[in-house]
Amino acid sequence: MNFTVSFRPDLNYYKEAYSEIVRNNGVKRFEPVFAIAMILSGIGLFYFDKTNVLGFFPILFSGIGAFELIKVYTSRNKWINDRVKSGVTGQEVKLQFTEDLIIHSGPFSNGNLKWTSIKSVGQTDKGVIIIPETGIVIYLPKRIFDSKDQIDIIINRKI
């Protein structure tokens, strides 16, 4: 195993990366559902509490749900905008996969990441997600690979 992939992150890359990372994150994926459930629960409690026993609780419940729903969408936009404004956007990023290392080079840094420091590797509909023990999650779209064999090598790598 020894191959290199390279890509230039742009707005579309970051949008795709965010959606694929969130879709494969167990907790983050359900945040909008949780927020909507809180809003609807608050409305239901408000509607069915004819004697006002619950008082301010239904409004608080709906308010927290609305806050969470707004937070989901503003955090997405902030994450994408922060990355688009970074110096990496439009610059070439290279990753070389070897038996022992993932060697990376980009506009800000060069370095090595040992396979033993990788927590997990997962395949999504549109790419590959590499999650290290510490540091940032690496998303690689399928279109940057020369063949499906390269993706299979990364996915099947014993960690």
Q: Please tell me whether residues 17 and 81 are part of one structural domain.
A: yes
Domain count, the chain: 2
Q: What is the pLDDT of residue 94?
A: 95
Residue 125 in tokens: 């509909």
d(C-alpha 139, C-alpha 137), whole Å: 7
**Domain hosting residue 74, numbered range:** 13-85
State the average pLDDT for the chain.
Answer: 90
CB atoms within 10 A of CB 46: 16
Q: Please tell me whether residues 72 and 113 are part of one structural domain.
A: no
Q: Please tell me whether residues 102 and 139 are part of one structural domain.
A: yes
Mean pLDDT of all residues in 122-129: 92
CB atoms within 10 A of CB 34: 14
| Single residue among 65, 85, 105 that ends a domain in this structure | 85
Q: Please tell me whether residues 128 and 147 are part of one structural domain.
A: yes
d(C-alpha 130, C-alpha 80), whole Å: 19
pLDDT confidence tier of residue 70, bands split at 50, 70 and 90:
very high
Mean pLDDT of all residues in 43-50: 86
C-alpha to C-alpha distances, 57 to 1, 37, 41, 44, 71, nearest whole angstrom: 59, 15, 11, 11, 21
Q: Please tell me whether residues 76 and 120 are part of one structural domain.
A: no
pLDDT in tens, 1-39: 789 999 999 999 999 999 999 888 778 788 889 999 999
Model-wide pTM > 0.85 = no
Q: What is the pLDDT of residue 159?
A: 59
